[in-house]
Structure 1
């Protein structure tokens, strides 16, 4: 592959997608020029200010307003506000010449071919030869966009379809035009994966490419079954959400968020553009879609869709649900299915799905009707939209947030058995599926020597999925490389003398089995001569924290010795990671809260996925961090003092982070909040996280890893610091920012972080602070209001402010 670097990118079009694509490039440190059209008329405010259409602020108003809106939006498109400084704005008329400075030009204007062609004509005037030029179109054929363009333009042109929001949705579809240089395709596939953190999927230039073709078909298929079976909005969203490993917004809520008009437009375009599709009629709008669309109830943008926000007689906000039969809004329906009850305790998604699909009730019937139809449709799309099955699974999972794609789901149910059931349901799959089974291949995927293989239709053999050769896939190692395990954790040999400890408790909480796993993993590594340990997994979360249920039981029964022993054991485990004789690296992603944060901070380094949400959130359950979290943040602030001078602002920031249960919303913020030390690193692509963490372990070992000794030089402020923070706590109480119980917790935290009742600033040990935080934690466990908070989290799933 030719050496090509991307230092500066031009994004043409600053709408919802353009502004957020610009933000994501800034997230990874790339300079961005963001351009849009010049306004045609003045606003009332501009007229009153005496401005004209020639003023720069007016000419750049559209682009500046769009960028400001994007940066203020939630969820935020930027890792932290500072990265926005890498984006400069301008307009097409005055600033198109600036694209000559850029290595990559991305067109993100309105989805109209004639407008895109006008923009490309302008681009051709200023673009330097060899520059990448791509379009974020969601469906316009590439061959039409390059008509009339130069040879160099056509050679360097490609489709690069990001999914919204670009920071969070991992899919980037790469769609070559007829004359695109293969080197350009290879570069975009590599760059999207390595630098943008995307699941880059190579697509054919067919209508809606891969993800929208399959994803929208899946939704339309489900809508027709819903109408046929008379299911409610609430029932369907319960059946098609997290229980299947899909987003919480499921089917109808997703439609409201995305906009029913958007979904209808895609469906209509697919119907018009697919005269040869055997299932073309599926894209015709069913009654429960057409009627809602015709009423203009398009979802959040029109303030009502399949759901509607309202207020009850007490003025309390409520969510109403659309009755699909009467088209009137009412209370949300509760889904009651025996299949859901039967699988409530099955946490493993791959074990839960077969039970759901084969269950003999209305839910099972719904699953069979929708799954078999989608399986059939996907099998028939090969080789039309892709020559390989894995690309369909990758695109749907990364673009629509599914944990498991259609072909992988089919594998879970048994390919051969499911084909027989599909035939009985008049959903016969494509002929190549029968040929695969006749060849002796029983699955679309299999694992071999730690690699993930897919069935290649053309060669009738299994091949390694391209791009995964240097990844570490724990699921592929499960049959051959397990060193040790219990009910809550599994220890893998991941090669080169490195171990990996995976948690698989509920939400990866740190219960007794996980604690045993951490001790065992470190002991084995030390005693058997391993190079080091990675703590990480392939699940959605790193760890949601300690096991609250056990704590609640002991505290409720006033078994204070048990609570004390439990905290001491937890602290000992954290220190075990800190003082081990081998390097330990935490590979974090998703939630790393409470104990999950404390464990990460006590490892030698964190290899953090950019989308890690880390925080010491114990205040939310009426406690303070006592697994070394309070101690560790105090230690890190102490290390930041220059020339021994106290920086109360730094100490106050750390105090407030714990007292307000602040959560870092990216790896950038984790570093700012001192959760990550100087040698910790960030991984953009979640799939590469464990491999990167392993590399970090080997780097630490190669650099001559030294076992750490207990720190005894932590500077605490004593009474002076306590007095300062006490004034702040009292002020928050008087201002009604903190309840009486919040204030009590904050005072306990204040006491620990300042080292207790000391007459002057003093150097103390880690153990001294650990003892203080354990005492504070233990005393708070005896508070009725703390137990109420823990009860609310455990049994209602939401925090309580009391």
Structure 2
């Protein structure tokens, strides 16, 4: 059988989902044809221009407006604005014949079976045999959509359900039709994971599939519980957010973002189509939801939902909450519970569940009701929506941003304890759970030899989860592969002669322990291994250096200790660059300040596409002091070509630091000079990141890695550059774009990146620049306004402009 490749796709329907899917395929380098209907009448602007319905600009208005609106939306659907050029637009009358040239057609039109069937009939007239054709429906049965189509169409047809927004949510449900070929399912499963960066799950053709069936149950359960326990919107959001490993937006804020109408549409679909569901009545909308729907309080899209942003008299804004008893908006109330206080010292979310379920206050009661309802419901969905329990967990993690799925939470509490909680609330687990316990199996999951196994119901024993061979899961290997450990990090043996340094500090900040671990890891790797990867699977790679420690030293005026600490950071990142083994750093999510400086000094970077990288030290009143300022000066110098562009190039790198630019994807980090074209690589599926980094380190070692020679040839421009920078900062301050303290920081950075007050351009060593950088950092750390900025960041978590 010929190998199937996806070079070009057609997306039919340019609404929020259609445009989002088009953008994500453009993100991964695929050519996209986006089609929508032709307008039936002219709008006012078109009438004023004297256009007619035959003009192309009018005929493509719907698709072009929708795509532009999507591209401008936040969060951005594209990794980089330039990727929009990979999308061409058209309409379903003039351009439908073009689908003959694509490899995959994705239908994303309105959720009405009659319209979808009509679209498929038209597409079949032009589609080339063997072309994949899928629907992004979230509720219409797949078997109904392919009725009456040709054998070849049905064989290559199935559901491919993306979650919104397609770039960011990882769930990709694949729903076979009655005649979908196994080859098509296998291909889509692999393609979703490898190329789209998704968690691919083959689901059954049941209402709402897997993710929405369990996810909407969970939300509807909370909607009913909020009245039963007399709770506020704020209390539920406090209890269902980061404390249990869920997104910050928790429950009600998430509904506001997604849109209440979207949720109601899915809930109504489940209520109408799942009459046999034992919790059928739960999908009936509570009264307060009916009221909100009538009032069009749908969330962010209508300006108000469970929360509402209002302008105060002084011009500042305030967020009000909906009182579910009076249905009026009121000032937000703070929510606090004794049970939550007990979890503050427990960093690992999984370890909190037992404590939360044993709480003696209203929070404890809430969790017992919540968890027991969820456990019972999830267990009873097997085999209805899935034969394998891990798919339900994967769907909730990838589609709803949960850190742990229902069966993982149940394992954390204890399977028998979970059943006890259920029975106290009047629920029963599915029969297979009791059979599992009778067999002497006490957990849904088991980890062996670095792999995760799940309880297979037909097999009546643990079965290895498929597809793990392309991943390295640090949680699974840490215990048995540990080579070194301290309070801030763990060094693990990844196998094949490659070590990994994993940060384990709070928010993965970089302090003395992490730097000690880095140096130890390099020592061990140079002696007994062939390469070092620096990677972790935390929420963020690193939010930077431990600014609490810097603040304390600066306040106490312990400048010798601070000088030593900064020098230790500089020496550590320089060791990363100049060790005798290849070093690979794997940024993902927030990679700020010191995390960025570590990235800058690797032999190679294997970045997750969703990496937000930047040197943000200006926000706390200092310049990058861990090699970042030196490195940006060096990188600018490496791009110098002729005298007339040298200053401009240097200015670009200066502004990347001075404006504290943070890339909104790894691809944008190429623009700021933090990633290098031709050297650093981007991985769309972050679960593959460490495995790919290990391969790269192994390959570099096998090709005969040679220890680099320290640079003494960095061209600096001296007074010529200083003059340009000082004029710039003067005019910025005069125009009130920056404060006096901002100017002071910028001038210090200018001094470092110009190489000091040299009378003419010169060549200097990296160490010369590091010494200038450290001196500038220390002088700024002693400034009162810098201390105010540091304190504000520590206390409030956001920068202060002073």
Q: Residue 411 of structure 1 contacts residue 444 of structure 1 at CA under 8 Å; is this kept in 2?
A: yes
- The alignment partner of 1:480 has SS state of helix
CA distance in structure 1 between the partners assigned to 2:351 and 2:652 by the alignment: 45
- The alignment partner of 1:478 has SS state of helix
Give the structure 2 partner of residue 544 of structure 1.
543
**Structure 1 position 724 matched with structure 2 position 718:** no
Q: Residue 488 of structure 1 contacts residue 505 of structure 1 at CA under 8 Å; is this kept in 2?
A: yes
Give the structure 1 partner of residue 452 of structure 2.
452
- The alignment partner of 1:46 has SS state of helix
CA distance in structure 2 between the partners assigned to 1:227 and 1:170 by the alignment: 32
CA distance in structure 1 between the partners assigned to 2:290 and 2:486 by the alignment: 52
Give the structure 2 partner of residue 28 of structure 1.
28
Shift of the alpha carbon at 1:645? 6.8
- The alignment partner of 1:321 has SS state of strand
- The alignment partner of 2:712 has SS state of coil
CA distance in structure 2 between the partners assigned to 1:637 and 1:345 by the alignment: 44
Q: Residue 368 of structure 2 contacts residue 421 of structure 2 at CA under 8 Å; is this kept in 1?
A: no
Greater shift in the superposed pair: 514-523 or 294-303: 294-303
Q: How does 1:236-315 map to 2 (within 5 A)?
A: 236-315=236-315
Give the structure 2 partner of residue 563 of structure 1.
562
**Structure 1 position 465 matched with structure 2 position 474:** no
- The alignment partner of 1:722 has SS state of helix
Q: How far does the alpha carbon of each residue in 1:132-184 deviate from its partner, in whole angstroms, 9 at most, with x for none?
A: 00000011111100011000000000100001100111111000101000000
CA distance in structure 2 between the partners assigned to 1:730 and 1:98 by the alignment: 56
Give the structure 2 partner of residue 587 of structure 1.
586
Q: Residue 582 of structure 2 contacts residue 700 of structure 2 at CA under 8 Å; is this kept in 1?
A: yes
- The alignment partner of 1:588 has SS state of coil
Q: Residue 613 of structure 1 contacts residue 663 of structure 1 at CA under 8 Å; is this kept in 2?
A: yes
CA distance in structure 1 between the partners assigned to 2:779 and 2:667 by the alignment: 35
Q: How far does the alpha carbon of each residue in 1:234-255 deviate from its partner, in whole angstroms, 9 at most, with x for none?
A: 1111111111111111111111
TM-score (norm 2): 0.99
Q: Residue 375 of structure 2 contacts residue 418 of structure 2 at CA under 8 Å; is this kept in 1?
A: no
Q: How far does the alpha carbon of each residue in 1:317-348 deviate from its partner, in whole angstroms, 9 at most, with x for none?
A: 00001111121111111111011222122222
Shift of the alpha carbon at 1:581? 0.8
Q: Residue 619 of structure 1 contacts residue 745 of structure 1 at CA under 8 Å; is this kept in 2?
A: yes
CA distance in structure 2 between the partners assigned to 1:451 and 1:715 by the alignment: 50
Give the structure 2 partner of residue 14 of structure 1.
14
CA distance in structure 2 between the partners assigned to 1:763 and 1:252 by the alignment: 59
Give the structure 1 partner of residue 81 of structure 2.
81
- The alignment partner of 2:584 has SS state of strand
Q: Residue 234 of structure 2 contacts residue 334 of structure 2 at CA under 8 Å; is this kept in 1?
A: yes
Q: Residue 2 of structure 1 contacts residue 183 of structure 1 at CA under 8 Å; is this kept in 2?
A: no
Shift of the alpha carbon at 1:421? 2.5
CA distance in structure 2 between the partners assigned to 1:445 and 1:478 by the alignment: 17
Q: Residue 227 of structure 1 contacts residue 288 of structure 1 at CA under 8 Å; is this kept in 2?
A: no
Q: How far does the alpha carbon of each residue in 1:415-466 deviate from its partner, in whole angstroms, 9 at most, with x for none?
A: 1222122222212110100111111211111110111111111101111111
- The alignment partner of 2:305 has SS state of coil
**Structure 1 position 498 matched with structure 2 position 484:** no
Give the structure 2 partner of residue 662 of structure 1.
661
Q: How does 1:177-576 map to 2 (within 5 A)?
A: 177-528=177-528, 530-576=529-575
CA distance in structure 2 between the partners assigned to 1:292 and 1:72 by the alignment: 28
Ranges in structure 2 where 5+ consecutive residues have no aligned partner:
none
CA distance in structure 2 between the partners assigned to 1:789 and 1:729 by the alignment: 20
CA distance in structure 1 between the partners assigned to 2:503 and 2:312 by the alignment: 43
Shift of the alpha carbon at 1:501? 1.1
Q: Residue 605 of structure 1 contacts residue 676 of structure 1 at CA under 8 Å; is this kept in 2?
A: no
Q: How far does the alpha carbon of each residue in 1:659-710 deviate from its partner, in whole angstroms, 9 at most, with x for none?
A: 0100011111112211123321111111111101111111111111111121
Shift of the alpha carbon at 1:388? 0.2
Count of residues in Structure 1 that have an aligned counterpart in Structure 2: 801
CA distance in structure 2 between the partners assigned to 1:365 and 1:694 by the alignment: 46
CA distance in structure 2 between the partners assigned to 1:648 and 1:285 by the alignment: 64
TM-score (norm 1): 0.99
Give the structure 2 partner of residue 603 of structure 1.
602
CA distance in structure 1 between the partners assigned to 2:566 and 2:351 by the alignment: 34
Q: How far does the alpha carbon of each residue in 1:396-416 deviate from its partner, in whole angstroms, 9 at most, with x for none?
A: 110011111111111111112
Give the structure 2 partner of residue 626 of structure 1.
625
Q: Residue 135 of structure 2 contacts residue 159 of structure 2 at CA under 8 Å; is this kept in 1?
A: yes
Q: Residue 499 of structure 2 contacts residue 525 of structure 2 at CA under 8 Å; is this kept in 1?
A: yes
Shift of the alpha carbon at 1:289? 2.3
Q: Residue 223 of structure 1 contacts residue 288 of structure 1 at CA under 8 Å; is this kept in 2?
A: no
Q: How far does the alpha carbon of each residue in 1:629-674 deviate from its partner, in whole angstroms, 9 at most, with x for none?
A: 0111111111112367753222111111100100011111112211
CA distance in structure 1 between the partners assigned to 2:295 and 2:671 by the alignment: 48
CA distance in structure 1 between the partners assigned to 2:290 and 2:60 by the alignment: 39
Q: Residue 130 of structure 1 contacts residue 156 of structure 1 at CA under 8 Å; is this kept in 2?
A: yes
Ranges in structure 1 where 5+ consecutive residues have no aligned partner:
none
CA distance in structure 1 between the partners assigned to 2:142 and 2:261 by the alignment: 24
Runs of 4+ with deviation above 6 angstroms: none
CA distance in structure 1 between the partners assigned to 2:731 and 2:34 by the alignment: 44
- The alignment partner of 2:487 has SS state of coil
**Structure 1 position 648 matched with structure 2 position 647:** yes
CA distance in structure 1 between the partners assigned to 2:6 and 2:421 by the alignment: 51
Q: How far does the alpha carbon of each residue in 1:444-499 deviate from its partner, in whole angstroms, 9 at most, with x for none?
A: 11110111111111101111111112311111112311111111111111111111
Shift of the alpha carbon at 1:315? 2.3
**Structure 1 position 132 matched with structure 2 position 132:** yes
Q: How far does the alpha carbon of each residue in 1:494-549 deviate from its partner, in whole angstroms, 9 at most, with x for none?
A: 11111111111111000111111111111111122x01111111111000000001
Give the structure 1 partner of residue 104 of structure 2.
104
CA distance in structure 1 between the partners assigned to 2:643 and 2:727 by the alignment: 24
CA RMSD, Structure 1 to Structure 2 (Å): 1.1
Q: Residue 106 of structure 2 contacts residue 135 of structure 2 at CA under 8 Å; is this kept in 1?
A: yes
Greater shift in the superposed pair: 641-650 or 404-413: 641-650
